[in-house]
């Protein structure tokens, strides 16, 4: 009986100790790295990392941020995820040399805790048009006011410097980490993750489900990596990569039109074109630019069908260049970092034009080249009279073969003759 009581007592104590043991486990700190432009892929990455951290009962999620900006739509998705998260989100601009520019400002301010590493900066850019010039006053005021209202709401929610936040949008203000800390734009400066965890330990933050005191002592880091597919989509979503893929697709299709049945250029071209269009689909496209690029394809293909003495090619080059410059609409202050590089555009257009010129020259030369086979290929060939041509008829040896021959004049055996015409397997010759 005593043994039974003893066993029951041990069991009860063990059950009571389980929660205590669990609570003493090292807190899980999920860490992700968001680098480059903000796009749908990075928004999806952040969303999934929040869900994963929540599922694993993580103490918090740290977003190591280094971005020049990105898409407004993707930025709004990320901000919404951060503001409604049930676990604390720490946005950490790091390592040294990193930036939180344009869209990065909105994301940083939306974190429960905003931190920066030494040697980093934070700031936004003023609205510009798609070609990089200033917009007209009406459009500029509209997009600026919208962005200013957006960032004010975030700053008020997180109790940060509202005046500086709005100034960052309206006047392109950019500051260092020490200035950001002084002006209450961020909460702290930390050299690395260890220092960051030490400084936020015991801090109280407001999550979507209420207040939480952070416990970041003796933490365990969990690096949540992007999937290979997310990495691939992130690469494809880069405007420069998407543009190059689209150009490769166009080139492959043009080759297929010039050489029907080649198959490989057409297949590769279609794949590249679809990948490029997917990447561009995630970007704010200017459809006038898309139309001009499509027009350039039509003009290039038409060059082979119509004798234009190069005018169609010139029109195609101009359309391609203008369409490329106008392709991405970066009128939002958040989207100034997603434009296609001018150097990439010019280089790509020059290469495409050069390749097309070479291809067109080869096609023209092929059309002008004398036929090498068949009956037409015999015109101009030199042969020898095998049997005298008398009364306009005889036999001629051409390329090792004997042919019935006709001539307007008698020609003796052994004389050299040239083929001037062929009809019904009979050649007409003249003496050389």
DSSP letter for 187, please. S
Most confident of 1-15, 208-222, 392-406: 208-222
Cβ–Cβ contacts within 10 Å for residue 335, how many?
29
User: How would DSSP label each residue in 170-194?
Assistant: HS--EEEHHHHHHTTSSSEE-SSHH
Tell me, what's the pLDDT at 339? Answer: 67
Q: Which two tokens stand for residue 324?
A: 């490329």
SS3 402: strand
Q: Which two tokens stand for residue 248?
A: 């490769």
DSSP letter for 337, please. G
Q: Which domains does the chain have, with CATH numbers?
A: 25-229 (3.90.226.10), 238-368 (no CATH), 376-431 (2.40.50.140)
Residue 367 pLDDT class (50, 70, 90 cuts): low
Phi and psi of 131, rounded to 5°? -95, 10
Cβ neighbours for 427, distance < 8 A, ≥ 6 positions apart? 378, 396, 398, 403, 404, 405, 406, 419, 421
Q: Which two tokens stand for residue 39?
A: 């796009």
Cα 319 to chain centroid distance, Å, stands at 21
Phi and psi of 428, rounded to 5°? -105, 130
Tens of pLDDT, residues 99-109: 999 889 999 99
Query: Which of 391, 347, 333, 354 lies closest to 126 in space, CA to CA?
Result: 333
Would you name the residues annotated as active-site residues?
102, 142
Residue 45 pLDDT class (50, 70, 90 cuts): very high
Lowest mean pLDDT among 176-185, 204-213, 257-266, 362-371: 362-371
Q: Which two tokens stand for residue 79?
A: 């901000």
Long-range CB contact pairs, 257-263, < 8 A, 24+: 257/301, 257/304, 258/304, 258/359, 258/363
């Amino acid at each position: 009986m005593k043994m039974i009581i003893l066993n029951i007592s041990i069991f009860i104590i063990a059950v009571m100790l389980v929660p205590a043991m669990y609570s003493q486990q090292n807190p899980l700190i999920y860490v992700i790295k968001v680098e480059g432009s903000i796009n749908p892929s990075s928004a999806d990455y952040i969303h999934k990392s929040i869900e994963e951290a929540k599922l694993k009962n993580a103490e918090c999620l740290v977003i190591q941020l280094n971005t020049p900006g990105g898409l407004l739509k993707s930025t709004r998705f990320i901000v919404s995820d951060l503001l409604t998260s049930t676990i604390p989100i720490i946005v950490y601009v790091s390592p040294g040399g990193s930036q939180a520019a344009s869209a990065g400002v909105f994301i940083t301010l939306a974190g429960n805790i905003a931190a920066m590493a030494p040697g980093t900066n934070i700031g936004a850019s003023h609205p510009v048009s798609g070609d990089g010039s200033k917009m007209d006053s009406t459009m500029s005021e509209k997009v600026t006011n919208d962005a200013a209202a957006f960032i004010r709401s975030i700053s008020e929610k997180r109790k940060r410097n509202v005046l500086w936040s709005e100034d960052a949008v309206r006047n392109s203000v950019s500051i260092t980490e020490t200035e950001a800390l002084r002006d209450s734009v961020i909460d702290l400066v930390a050299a690395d993750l260890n220092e960051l965890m030490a400084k936020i330990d015991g801090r109280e933050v407001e999550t979507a489900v209420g207040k939480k005191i952070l416990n970041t002592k003796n933490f365990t880091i969990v690096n949540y990596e992007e999937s290979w597919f997310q990495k691939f989509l992130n690469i494809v979503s880069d405007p420069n990569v998407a543009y190059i893929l689209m150009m490769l697709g166009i080139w492959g299709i043009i080759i297929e039109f010039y050489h029907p049945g080649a198959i490989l250029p057409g297949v590769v071209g279609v794949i590249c074109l679809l990948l490029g269009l997917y990447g561009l689909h995630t970007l704010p496209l200017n459809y006038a630019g898309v139309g001009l690029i499509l027009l350039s394809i039509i003009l290039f293909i038409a060059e082979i069908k119509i004798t234009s003495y190069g005018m169609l090619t010139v029109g195609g080059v101009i359309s391609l260049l203008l369409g490329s410059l106008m392709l991405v609409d970066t009128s939002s202050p958040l989207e100034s970092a997603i434009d296609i590089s001018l150097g990439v555009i010019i280089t790509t257009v020059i290469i495409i034009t050069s390749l097309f010129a070479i291809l067109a020259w080869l096609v023209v030369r092929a059309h002008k080249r004398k036929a090498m086979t068949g009956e037409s290929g015999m015109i101009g060939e030199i042969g020898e009279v095998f049997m005298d041509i008398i009364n306009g008829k005889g036999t001629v040896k051409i390329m090792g073969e004997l042919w019935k021959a006709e001539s307007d004049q008698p020609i003796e055996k052994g004389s050299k003759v040239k083929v001037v015409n062929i009809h019904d397997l009979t050649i007409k010759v003249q003496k050389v």
